[in-house]
C-alpha cells in the first residue's frame, strides 16, 4: 500500500514538471491563408448589359471586408450620388440611388479595398462593370502623371476625360470618365466609348471633380484623345521539344546534360494580324498656376530708422511707398533679390525719431478675374526703444558678419563676403588687411573689394588664393562707417584654404540645342521634398559646360529649357495653353571624386 502511494506521487511530480516546462502557444491551424476571395455568385453578373437594377449582390467563398473604401473607390463616369456599398458576411451589396444614364457603361473600381476578413488578402484591382445599353464600351487609355518641376511621380491625382472640348469644361462640369493615379503615378481608364475627349488631371483639394481653386495642381494636354482602329501584327513561335532522355540519370549526369543542352530549336513561326484598338499611353506634367494671391505678409520696425515690408511672393513691378506725415521724407530703398522684401532706411532724424510713423504702401495684386489692380495699405509703424543694459551699452551698434568663421576652411573658388547691418557711407580699404602665413612669416596679400549689385549691404573680397595656406583677415577700427555714423570695432579672422587636389571637375558635353534656345544647366543635390542648386550656368548653343572646384560627392545634373530667358523655371497656364517649362535630368548622378575629371554627354536630339 505504501509503495503504491509513492509511485502515484512520483507520477504526479512528473506531470507538474512537464506542465512547468510547457509553453502556451496559439494553435497553428495549418498554413496561413494567402489567397484572395473568390466570387461564387453575382446578381446581376459582372459586365451585364441592359442594366436596370437598383441593387447588386456579389457573394464570395469566404467572409470579406472593405478597407479604405472612400480612398480607393473610383466610379466612372461619376454619379451624382455615390451608391450605398455594404458588406454582410460573405456578400458585397451595392445599392444605386442616383439616376443612371442611358446607353452608358459604368465602371466601379474598388482597387485593393475588397479583402478577406481573416488575413486581409486583397482582391487586386476588383471592378464591377455594367452597361445600361446593349453593349459594353471597351476602349482604354493609360499613362503617368509627373510633377513638372522635378519629374517625380504624383499619387492620388484624378485623371479625367470630357467629350466637350472647350477650355472651360474642367471649371464647369464633372468628367465623363475618371481614374486616379497610384503610388507610381500611373493610371488607366477602361470602358471608354469611341469618341473624342479632352484629358485633364487634377489634384482635387475639395473632391468635387471641378477645377475651382486656383491653388489646385493640374495637368493637361492640348492634343485631343481619339480612337482609331489599327492593324496589329502578332508573331507566335513554336519550338521543337527536346528529348534529353534523362530517365534513370544521376544528378551528375543531369548537370552534364544541362551544360550540353542546345538552345531551343524553332519548329514553326506563325504570323497573323488583326484589327484592334491599341491602348495609347499619355504622360502629363502636373503644376500649380502662378495665381497665388498677393498680400503683405509682415511689416516691422526693428530699428527706429528701418521700415521693412515682407510679402508672400514677389511684387509685380515695384512698391510705392510714402510717409504720410512727410511726403518729402528722405530714405534709401533696398529690394531683395526675390523682390518680396522691401526696406526703407529713413535718413532724417526728424522722421525716424518719431515713436509712430504712418505710411502708405501700394502694390499690384490680382482680382477674381485675374486682372491686376493697385492695392493700398495704410500702416502705423511703432518703435519701442528697449533700455539697454550696461553690457549692451559697451557693445557697438555696428553689425558686421562674415561668411567664414575663425579657424574655418575657405574654398579656393570662393570669396570673403562682408554682410553689414546698415547701409554704408564709406569703407576705408587702407584699414582692411589680408595676410598669408607660411612658417610664421606673414605676407601682405593684395585683394579686390566689390559691392554686390544685388544686395545693398553686401561686399565681396577676392584674392589670388593659394592652396592649403593659412590667412588672416583684419578689419581695423573705424574702417567702415554706416549712414547713421556708426563705425566698426576690430575684427580679426584666421582661416585656411582648401587643398587643390581635394576638388573634382565635371565636364558636360551638350549637343542638340536648337535655334539658340536658352538652357539652364544646374548641379543640384536633392532631399525628399526639395532641390538645392549648387551651381548653374546659362547656355544657348552646343558646348562643353565645365563645373570646377567640386567637393567629392554625388550631384544630379538638371537642364531647364528656359523659353522666356528669365533664368528661372516657369510654371504653366491652362487657359493660355502654356505648358510648364520642360526639364530634363541626366540618367544617373554624377559621382565626383577628388583630383578627378568626370565627363558626361547629353544628346538633346534623343529626348523626344
Note the pLDDT tens digit of each residue in 278-322: 999 999 999 999 888 899 999 999 999 999 999 999 999 889 999
Is the domain of 244 the same as that of 199?
Answer: no
Residues in Cβ contact with 515 at an 8 Å cutoff, skipping those fewer than 6 apart: none
CA dihedral of 516, 520, 523, 527, whole degrees rounded to 10: -140
Residue 284 lies in a domain: no
**How confident is the prediction for the chain on average, in pLDDT?**
89
Is the domain of 475 the same as that of 553?
Answer: no
What grid cell was written down for 201? Answer: 488631371
Most confident option among 32-36, 363-367, 445-449, 511-515: 445-449
Q: What domain range includes position 244?
A: 237-276
Other C-beta atoms within 10 Å of 479: how many? 21
Is the domain of 370 the same as that of 442?
Answer: no
Q: What angle do CA 110, 112, 116 make, to 5 degrees?
A: 105
Give the pLDDT band (50/70/90) at residue 3: very low
**257: number of CA atoms within 13 Å, CB side?**
12
Q: What is the mean pLDDT of residues 481-497?
A: 95
As a whole number of angstroms, the distance between CA 589 and CA 523 comes to 10
- The tens digit of pLDDT for each residue in 110-143 reads 989 999 998 999 998 899 999 999 999 999 999 9
CA dihedral of 246, 249, 255, 256, whole degrees rounded to 10: -80
Give the pLDDT band (50/70/90) at residue 16: very low
Q: What is the mean pLDDT of residues 252-280?
A: 74
Write down the pLDDT at residue 443: 96
As a whole number of angstroms, the distance between CA 24 and CA 1 comes to 37
Give the pLDDT band (50/70/90) at residue 27: very low
Residue 225 lies in a domain: no
Residue 26 lies in a domain: no
Is the domain of 497 the same as that of 507?
Answer: no
Last residue of a domain, one of 155, 186, 220: 220
Is the domain of 516 the same as that of 494?
Answer: no
Tell me the CA distances in angstroms from 375 to 209, 294, 310, 311, 327, one per residue in order.
33, 10, 15, 13, 19
Give the pLDDT band (50/70/90) at residue 14: very low
Per the CB < 8 A criterion, the answer to whether 50 and 72 are in contact is no
As a whole number of angstroms, the distance between CA 394 and CA 412 comes to 37
Last residue of a domain, one of 501, 526, 550: 501
Per the CB < 8 A criterion, the answer to whether 145 and 203 are in contact is no
Q: How many domains does the chain have?
A: 6
Is the model's pLDDT at 231 over the cut of 60?
yes
Q: What is the mean pLDDT of residues 203-223?
A: 92
Residue 241 lies in a domain: yes
Q: Please state the φ and ψ torsions of residue 34, each to the nearest 5 degrees.
A: -125, 5
Residues in Cβ contact with 241 at an 8 Å cutoff, skipping those fewer than 6 apart: none
Is the model's pLDDT at 455 over the cut of 50?
yes
Is the model's pLDDT at 172 over the cut of 90?
yes
Last residue of a domain, one of 173, 194, 220: 220
Residue 30 lies in a domain: no
As a whole number of angstroms, the distance between CA 468 and CA 24 comes to 69
Amino acid at each position: 500500500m505504501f509503495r503504491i502511494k509513492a509511485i502515484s506521487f512520483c507520477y504526479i511530480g512528473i506531470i507538474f514538471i512537464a506542465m512547468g516546462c510547457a509553453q502556451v502557444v496559439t494553435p497553428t491551424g495549418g498554413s496561413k491563408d494567402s489567397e484572395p476571395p473568390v466570387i461564387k455568385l453575382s446578381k446581376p453578373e459582372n459586365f451585364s448589359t441592359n442594366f436596370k437594377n437598383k441593387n447588386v449582390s456579389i457573394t464570395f467563398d469566404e467572409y470579406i471586408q472593405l478597407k479604405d473604401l472612400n480612398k480607393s473607390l473610383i466610379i466612372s463616369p461619376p454619379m451624382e450620388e455615390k451608391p450605398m456599398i455594404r458588406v454582410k458576411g460573405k456578400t458585397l451589396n451595392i445599392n444605386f440611388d442616383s439616376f443612371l444614364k442611358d446607353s452608358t457603361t459604368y465602371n466601379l473600381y474598388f482597387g485593393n479595398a475588397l479583402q478577406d476578413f481573416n488575413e486581409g488578402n486583397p482582391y487586386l484591382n476588383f471592378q464591377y462593370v455594367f452597361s445600361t445599353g446593349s453593349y459594353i464600351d471597351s476602349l482604354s487609355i493609360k499613362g503617368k502623371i509627373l510633377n513638372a518641376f522635378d519629374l517625380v511621380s504624383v499619387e492620388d491625382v484624378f485623371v479625367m476625360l470630357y467629350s466637350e472640348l472647350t477650355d472651360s469644361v474642367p471649371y464647369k462640369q464633372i468628367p465623363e470618365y475618371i481614374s486616379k493615379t497610384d503610388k507610381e503615378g500611373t493610371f488607366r481608364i477602361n470602358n471608354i466609348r469611341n469618341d473624342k475627349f479632352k484629358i485633364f488631371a487634377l489634384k482635387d483639394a475639395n473632391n468635387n471633380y471641378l477645377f475651382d481653386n486656383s491653388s489646385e495642381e493640374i495637368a493637361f494636354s492640348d492634343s485631343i484623345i481619339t480612337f482609331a482602329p489599327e492593324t496589329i501584327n502578332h508573331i507566335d513561335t513554336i519550338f521543337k521539344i527536346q528529348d534529353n532522355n534523362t530517365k534513370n540519370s544521376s544528378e551528375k549526369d543531369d548537370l552534364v546534360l544541362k551544360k550540353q543542352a542546345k538552345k531551343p530549336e524553332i519548329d514553326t513561326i506563325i504570323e497573323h494580324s488583326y484589327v484592334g484598338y491599341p491602348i495609347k499611353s499619355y504622360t502629363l506634367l502636373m503644376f500649380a498656376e502662378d495665381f497665388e494671391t498677393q498680400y503683405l505678409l509682415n511689416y516691422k520696425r526693428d530699428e527706429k530708422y528701418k521700415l521693412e515690408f515682407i510679402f508672400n511672393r514677389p511684387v509685380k513691378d515695384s512698391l510705392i511707398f510714402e510717409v504720410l506725415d512727410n511726403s518729402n521724407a528722405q530714405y534709401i530703398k533696398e529690394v531683395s533679390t526675390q523682390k518680396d522684401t522691401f526696406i526703407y532706411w529713413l535718413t532724417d532724424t526728424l522722421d525716424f525719431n518719431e515713436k509712430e510713423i504712418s505710411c502708405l504702401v501700394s502694390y499690384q495684386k490680382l482680382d477674381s478675374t485675374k486682372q491686376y489692380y493697385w492695392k493700398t495699405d495704410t500702416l502705423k509703424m511703432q518703435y519701442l526703444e528697449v533700455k539697454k543694459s550696461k553690457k549692451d551699452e559697451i557693445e557697438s551698434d555696428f553689425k558686421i558678419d562674415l561668411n567664414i568663421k575663425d579657424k574655418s576652411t575657405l574654398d579656393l573658388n570662393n570669396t570673403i563676403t562682408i554682410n553689414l547691418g546698415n547701409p554704408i557711407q564709406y569703407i576705408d580699404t587702407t584699414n582692411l588687411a589680408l595676410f598669408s602665413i607660411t612658417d610664421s612669416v606673414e605676407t601682405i596679400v593684395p585683394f579686390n573689394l566689390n559691392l554686390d549689385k544685388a544686395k545693398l549691404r553686401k561686399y565681396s573680397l577676392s584674392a589670388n588664393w593659394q592652396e592649403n595656406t593659412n590667412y588672416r583677415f583684419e578689419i581695423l577700427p573705424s574702417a567702415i562707417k554706416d549712414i547713421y555714423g556708426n563705425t566698426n570695432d576690430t575684427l580679426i579672422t584666421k582661416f585656411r584654404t582648401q587643398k587643390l587636389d581635394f576638388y573634382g571637375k565635371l565636364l558636360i558635353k551638350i549637343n542638340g540645342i536648337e535655334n539658340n534656345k536658352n538652357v539652364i544647366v544646374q548641379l543640384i543635390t536633392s532631399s525628399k521634398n526639395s532641390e538645392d542648386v549648387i551651381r548653374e550656368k546659362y547656355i544657348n548653343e552646343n558646348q562643353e559646360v565645365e563645373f570646377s572646384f567640386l567637393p567629392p560627392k554625388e550631384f544630379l545634373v538638371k537642364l531647364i529649357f528656359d523659353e522666356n530667358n528669365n533664368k528661372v523655371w516657369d510654371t504653366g497656364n491652362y487657359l493660355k495653353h502654356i505648358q510648364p517649362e520642360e526639364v530634363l535630368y541626366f540618367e544617373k548622378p554624377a559621382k565626383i571624386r577628388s583630383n578627378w575629371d568626370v565627363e558626361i554627354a547629353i544628346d538633346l536630339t534623343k529626348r523626344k
